[in-house]
Structure 1
Amino acid sequence: MPISSPFRKITRRAALLGAAAALMFATTLPAHDARAEDTVKLGLVAALSGQSAKSGEAITRGITLAIDKINAEGGKPLELVSRDDESNPGKGLVAARELAQREGVAAIIGGLDTPVSFAIVPYVNQQKIPFIGPWAAGTGITKNGAEENYVFRVSAVDEYVDEAITEYLIANYGAKKPGMILINNPWGESNEKGLLKALEKRGMEHAGIEKFESNDVDVVPQLTRLKENGADSLFVVANVAPTAQVIKSLDRMGWDVPISSHWGPAGGRFTELAGKSGEKVHFIQTYLFTDPANPMFVKLQEKFPEIETLADVTPATGIANAYDATLLLAAAIEKAGSTDGPAIREAMYEISGVEGMIKTYDKPFTPDDQDALGPEDYTFAHFVEGQIIPIK
């Protein structure tokens, strides 16, 4: 009969305990997912709450449709990681840092508000993180003077918009002395420069430049000054709620004057706030859904069942810009064969043949021009019974 060894017993017990501990430890860890390692994360910084939430929702829907298309076609899968900037520049910068440092995103899509974009631009250029804007139109966002510029855009550009608005007021209303009423922030300042440049180019004078705040509920004093100075038309630059206050103030004054606007009113249910007179405002768009049989509209309805009619898509321009921006970014990542920021940036200058919602893009970016859309891609629209339709 063999002698039992205490060392043998200890070893056997230790082995059993070790195995149990290993099993317990293993159950506390997530299962290894090879696909997760291969997934490329894209970050989104946008206003997902507050008065611009409809715009943030449109951007999210456009990105989601693009990611669904890309993932269905194979290759490295994409994943969207979103942060709400609440239209606050400081929160937008914090969100961008978090996406880059904690989430390890390959690139950031965002900047619904021009002030938020201006806050993010220096950071992404310093950190060499590609940043592509599907909304904010401030001219200096892409034309930021950086030696190595990582900021791209698929959206309107203030300088081009201001030229288009000026020409529109002249051609359609014979404007000779327009007045400006602009939101008092960097977006308003960007458009002030562009509008003055457009007027100077034509040798035209203006009736004044008035500023107002986003929370102002009455702008009659500013509008009265413009009227007394002989304004025969108005440039308006502001988002949904502030522009609605301009319209209500005009109604209180009984002043019926032609109004041409940047695309701010398109960012939500504008006429619900402004009333019937809101339909008089003609504004810039880069894309519109006009046919319920449009294949992209059908896909939107399939993905988001709450979309029942064309009027439920507000605004289409945000969806289209974000969709196209995501396809261009994905094409650059594919071409670069890497998620390295400098490699993606260089690839952005080489992509072509990307079929987007707005158009097909062939070499849309150069180091001297990092805006994919120009004046030829703009159209004017207005609200009619809650739906954005093109001006006929």
Structure 2
Amino acid sequence: MAASIRSLSRRALLLGAALLVSLPASAEDTIKFGLVAAMSGQSAKSGEAIVRGLSLAMDEINAQGGVLGKKLELVVRDDESNPAKGVVAARELVQREKVAAMFGGLDTPVSMAIVPFANQNKVPFIGVWAAGTAITRNGAADNYVFRVSAVDALVDKALVDYAVKKYAIKKPGMILINNPWGESNEGGLKAALADKGLPFAGVEKFQDADVDVVPQLARLKEAGADALFLVANVAPASQVVKSLDRMGWNVPVISHWGPAGGRFTELAGPSAAKVHFIQTFSFAGTMSPKAEAVFAALKKKYPEVKTLADVTPAVGIANAYDAMHLTALAVAKAGSTDGTKVRDGFLAIDHYDGLIKSYDKPFSGENHDALSAGDYIFTHFVDGEIVPLTN
């Protein structure tokens, strides 16, 4: 109980600090950006990582004089992984806080709920985690949504390619969370498998609150699945792993990045290390000079970060860090905080030497996703740290 109270207090302090990244002399002296993300519940660790990535980038930008002669300020709202609360938070950020742009957090259903609001109000909305394909490919004639994160349609191709190369799969099954994120990946995985001429053993769905997924897994085993594609966040993904242990079914599990978002190794137990999952970035291995500088700044700003295991999930930090720098460039290109001009500013970005990669014309009228399939790596947990797999 004491440990839980300390953890809650630490998160409350982090959120409080995030709400006041800078203390402006007056509103006219700053440019406000908003973040709508899960800052509590099972995904709080990921929300914390996003805040840290945005804050580190803002520190660098502010130290260089800000943008348009103004310092940047971050205003954070907790969506509690609830789409309705996410829309309320977005509305408050736009109408009350007058943010120039919003960053979107972890859950595809929440981001999908915010997308129409952002487009209708002509406020740029930049995704830094949620991977649902339709977030950016939303069909709007006037699209204000951009993303520096994974995209389900591309992730699903990468998952299938990896499973074929690593495990020589012939008939995989799918175990997917029963929400729009699961639906997005069901379509993407089916298409990716069809491109390879591969059948699938079946598609099974489960709920966030399910504590026993044995019936669904048993049906996939009976159908002859030789591997499993998993799409779920931390808590439900851990229940899949524990259910596999109860069955004694040692089958390869190739996952979207949900397990990276929190206490997966604690919840799933020793078999957590068997799950191979996709990421966009890792501090592990040989760091680039930019990664070394960001990691050093991270340790200085957040003294509790002492080892690489303390920065889990690194994707939250990296995606948010690059997204903030790209957004600052868009505002600079716009020469204004007007939403339409900032949207056009994103399309005018020529180059940014980022943490994840060097971006050359990352956005266009047809493509609002800065990362491509070639920017993904596969990882697993080793002693609580997310470590890249060598093959």
Q: What's the TM-score, normalizing by structure 1? A: 0.90
Match of 1:320 in 2: 318
1:219-230 to 2 correspondences below 5 Å: 219-230=213-224
Q: Secondary structure at the match of 1:81?
A: strand
Distance in 2 of aligned mates of 1:239 and 1:197: 22
Q: 1:54 aligns with which of 45, 50, 54?
A: 45
Match of 1:189 in 2: 183
Gaps of 5+ in 1: 1-32
Q: Does 1:245 align with 2:204?
A: no
Match of 1:25 in 2: none
Match of 1:129 in 2: 123
Distance apart, 1:335 and its partner CA:
1.1
Match of 2:370 in 1: 372
Distance apart, 1:110 and its partner CA:
1.0
Q: Secondary structure at the match of 1:371?
A: coil
Distance apart, 1:204 and its partner CA:
1.0
Distance in 2 of aligned mates of 1:160 and 1:292: 26
1:1-392 to 2 correspondences below 5 Å: 36-74=27-65, 75-290=69-284, 294-392=292-390
With 48-57 and 283-292 compared, the bigger mean Cα shift is at 283-292
Q: Given residue 35 of structure 2, which amino acid in structure 1 is its aligned partner?
A: L
Distance apart, 1:289 and its partner CA:
0.8
Q: Given residue 150 of structure 1, which amino acid in structure 2 is its aligned partner?
A: Y
Q: Which 4+ stretches in 1 moved above 4 angstroms? A: none
Distance in 2 of aligned mates of 1:383 and 1:90: 33
Distance in 2 of aligned mates of 1:297 and 1:290: 11
Distance apart, 1:295 and its partner CA:
2.0
Q: Secondary structure at the match of 1:51?
A: helix
Residue by residue over 1:239-269, the C-alpha shift from the partner in whole angstroms, topping out at 9 and shown as x without a partner, is 0110000000000000000110000000012
Q: Given residue 334 of structure 1, which amino acid in structure 2 is its aligned partner?
A: A
Q: Given residue 57 of structure 1, which amino acid in structure 2 is its aligned partner?
A: E
Residue by residue over 1:9-35, the C-alpha shift from the partner in whole angstroms, topping out at 9 and shown as x without a partner, is xxxxxxxxxxxxxxxxxxxxxxxx766
Residue by residue over 1:322-342, the C-alpha shift from the partner in whole angstroms, topping out at 9 and shown as x without a partner, is 000000000010111100000
Distance in 2 of aligned mates of 1:226 and 1:384: 28
Q: Secondary structure at the match of 2:41?
A: coil
Match of 2:18 in 1: none
Distance in 1 of aligned mates of 2:129 and 2:381: 19
Gaps of 5+ in 2: 1-23
Distance in 1 of aligned mates of 2:157 and 2:286: 32
Q: Given residue 39 of structure 1, which amino acid in structure 2 is its aligned partner?
A: T
What root-mean-square deviation, in Å, do the aligned CA atoms of Structure 1 and Structure 2 show? 1.1
Distance in 2 of aligned mates of 1:179 and 1:282: 15
Match of 1:30 in 2: none
Q: What's the TM-score, normalizing by structure 2? A: 0.91
Distance in 2 of aligned mates of 1:113 and 1:258: 25
**Cα pair 2:47 2:105 within 8 Å, conserved:** no
**Cα pair 1:269 1:314 within 8 Å, conserved:** no
Q: Secondary structure at the match of 1:244?
A: helix
Q: Secondary structure at the match of 2:229?
A: strand
Distance in 2 of aligned mates of 1:43 and 1:34: 19
Distance in 2 of aligned mates of 1:297 and 1:327: 16
Distance in 2 of aligned mates of 1:318 and 1:232: 31
Residue by residue over 1:101-150, the C-alpha shift from the partner in whole angstroms, topping out at 9 and shown as x without a partner, is 00000000013100000000000000000000000000000000000100
Distance apart, 1:353 and its partner CA:
2.3
Match of 2:4 in 1: none
Distance in 1 of aligned mates of 2:64 and 2:349: 18
Residue by residue over 1:173-225, the C-alpha shift from the partner in whole angstroms, topping out at 9 and shown as x without a partner, is 01000000000000000000000000111111101000000110000000000
Distance in 1 of aligned mates of 2:205 and 2:170: 21
**Cα pair 1:45 1:109 within 8 Å, conserved:** yes
**Cα pair 1:292 1:298 within 8 Å, conserved:** no
**Cα pair 1:243 1:265 within 8 Å, conserved:** yes
Distance in 1 of aligned mates of 2:159 and 2:350: 30
Distance in 2 of aligned mates of 1:339 and 1:92: 23
Residue by residue over 1:336-358, the C-alpha shift from the partner in whole angstroms, topping out at 9 and shown as x without a partner, is 11000000011101112222111
Distance in 2 of aligned mates of 1:77 and 1:355: 22
Between the two proteins, the alignment pairs up a number of residues equal to 360
Q: Given residue 50 of structure 1, which amino acid in structure 2 is its aligned partner?
A: G
Q: Secondary structure at the match of 2:70?
A: coil
Match of 2:3 in 1: none
Q: Given residue 340 of structure 1, which amino acid in structure 2 is its aligned partner?
A: D
Distance 1:298 1:34, change over 3 A: closer
**Cα pair 1:137 1:158 within 8 Å, conserved:** yes
